[in-house]
Amino acid sequence: MALETRTYPDEVLFRLTQAGLSAAHIVDVEEVYESSTGEVKVGRRLDPRGITSDDAPLLAQISATINAAALADNAAKDAALAAAQADKTAAEQARDAAQAQVAELTAQLAALKPAMVNGVPQSVTRFQALAVLDADGLLDRVTAIMSAPETPRIAKLAWDNAQSFDRDSPTIGALAGVLGLTGPMLDDLFIAASKIKA
């Protein structure tokens, strides 16, 4: 039985500081093995040693491995970024398409809705509504009604945010009831409002 000894690097350690690399060493493993079978009979880790010129191939291999890993990581990040940007673009396109569809449907709905019924305009602008209420001395009462705690929140949101008011809207109907306005009186208000120009 012939025994042989071999030594190979098992660990390469680098010591880093804020200034950069300050030290490096290699820990070798020494093994005694049977030459005919390769069976290791005994092995031990040697004390750390400094790096020599003989270690250049090992260091080159380590550097190549690190560079390859870094390149692969960068490629994965680039791919993830490209996928995220593609998702964002697709989401923006879907949003734009949905907004265009809403605008188209709104226009179609407006086209289907008659502008006038029996001589009464079916919609007036926010400015026209406020102006006619002010002219009839009703604006302060409406403001007080909309500020009242018992007024439904949805009515307040509609009053505060609507850019136009429809004759058949629930908010206008409820408001007319509180103000004691009959249908013909409300029609007259809409007719008068439609004639007001900013």
Cβ-contact 122, 193 below 8 angstroms: no
pLDDT at 86 exceeding the cut of 80: yes
pLDDT digits (tens, 9 = 90+) for 47-65: 999 888 888 888 888 878 8
Q: Burial code of 112-135, b = ≥16 C-beta within 10 A, e = fewer?
A: eeeeeeeebbbbbbeebbbbbbee
Q: Which residues contact 14 (CB under 8 A, 6 or more apart)?
A: 21, 23, 24
pLDDT digits (tens, 9 = 90+) for 21-41: 777 889 999 999 998 888 998
Whole-model pTM? 0.43
